[in-house]
């Protein structure tokens, strides 16, 4: 299961959220969870309909998931992608770390 990493006050810039995807979670799901946390959404997605723009309006979730998938030979891909969504800068890495900060 994914976990939001809590930071001590003042340890990171205000409004920055760090999230790590769980072993059973796609990168796009981790990005959505991190964005929901940054936006202060409740734990029930149905209660927050319309608070955030759907991720697919900014980036294709399937392409995001495929970007760091294993190669045909089974080798791992590494890298980082950064994009903006609803006024947040989102950085996601191949190892499932997501950082969301205010622009």
**What pLDDT digit, counting tens, does each position of 2-43 carry?**
344 433 333 334 579 999 999 999 999 999 999 988 888 866
Instruction: Compute the C-alpha angle 33/36/39, nearest 5°.
Output: 150
Domain that holds residue 39: 3-102
Count CB atoms within 10 A of the CB of residue 48.
14
How many domains does one find in the chain? 1
Average pLDDT of 69-76? 88
What value does the mean pLDDT take over residues 53-77?
92
| pTM summary value | 0.78
The number of beta carbons lying within 10 Å of the beta carbon of residue 96 is 17
What is the pairing mode between strands 80-85 and 97-102? unpaired
Q: Hunting for tokens 């609803």 — which residue is that? A: 86
């Amino acid at each position: 299961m994914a976990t939001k990493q809590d930071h001590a006050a003042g340890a990171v810039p205000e409004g920055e959220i760090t999230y790590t995807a769980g072993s059973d979670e796609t990168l796009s799901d981790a990005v959505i969870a991190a964005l929901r946390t940054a936006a202060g959404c409740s734990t029930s997605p149905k209660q927050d309909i319309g608070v955030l723009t759907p991720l697919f309006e900014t980036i294709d979730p399937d392409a995001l998931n495929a970007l760091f998938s294993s190669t045909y030979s089974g080798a791992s891909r590494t890298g980082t992608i950064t994009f903006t969504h609803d006024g947040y800068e989102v950085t996601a890495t191949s190892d499932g770390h997501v950082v969301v900060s205010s622009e």
